[in-house]
Structure 1
């Protein structure tokens, strides 16, 4: 959970920057709820953030701090397809009040819903030398 919080703070900063870059195209005005492009844009930025980290080393900064890696179940690096499946499934896990994340407490392999759906898993990284 600490890695999730750490990454959420970093993602929040990225989303603030992404919004600042987009504001001039909206005449500097706040985005309204009837502008569907803005939430889709933020979702795409969020996927790009996580997808890039997951496909380039399997670690976000939060995961790196806790020495955790995301790999496929056969311990291979994630492809963009795996990253997209994991991202979409993680959204599903959050939409049911986080039950998809809590599932790992009852799963014999300690895998969450998005791990199962994307055929990925969390692995502890070997200690640095």
Structure 2
């Protein structure tokens, strides 16, 4: 039996401002993850492949593997938090949670769709994220594509 989140009657769709705040918080956390991944990549290239410093980052395969690792790290960052409790650390700070329409945690397929569509939604000047302002249900492109919703949780003092 799939688990469901609590407080389903006390939540409401998240607006653009809160989502943007969470994105800013999470971007700093993701940047730290990317710095760690890049550092590890450089250490591996320098020490295991024994390349001199001037050749680090010069090869096509080095660039490709680093970019692949950065995308994978970003996906794992979001997948871990979204699947674990429906919230990244930035979403926790802004009291946001991603869930299915019936209040269940999102599955791995929905996580992958949210991640890919969310990245694509940034390309046209973030239009896919601005879509929240125009959609009557306050959904972004990634919400629509994955069949999920981002909701605001009540303050701790207002929980019943």
TM-score w.r.t. length of structure 2: 0.76
How far 1:16 moved relative to its partner? 0.5
Among 29, 32, 39, the alignment partner of 1:20 is 39
RMSD of aligned Cα (Å): 1.5
In the TM superposition, what are the counterparts of 1:1-129 in structure 2 within 5 Å? Answer: 1-27=20-46, 29=53, 30-32=56-58, 34=60, 35-128=63-156
Structure 1 residue runs without a partner (length 5+) = none
Change (3 A) 1:68 1:36: same
How far 1:80 moved relative to its partner? 1.3
Change (3 A) 1:26 1:61: same
Matched residues, number: 129
Q: Secondary structure at the match of 1:50?
A: helix
| Distance (whole Å) between structure 2 residues aligned to residue 84 and residue 33 of structure 1 | 29
Structure 2 residue runs without a partner (length 5+) = 1-19, 48-52
Larger Rg: 2
TM-score w.r.t. length of structure 1: 0.93
| Distance (whole Å) between structure 2 residues aligned to residue 9 and residue 69 of structure 1 | 19
Q: Secondary structure at the match of 2:66?
A: helix
* Higher RCO (CA < 8 A, seq sep 6+): 2
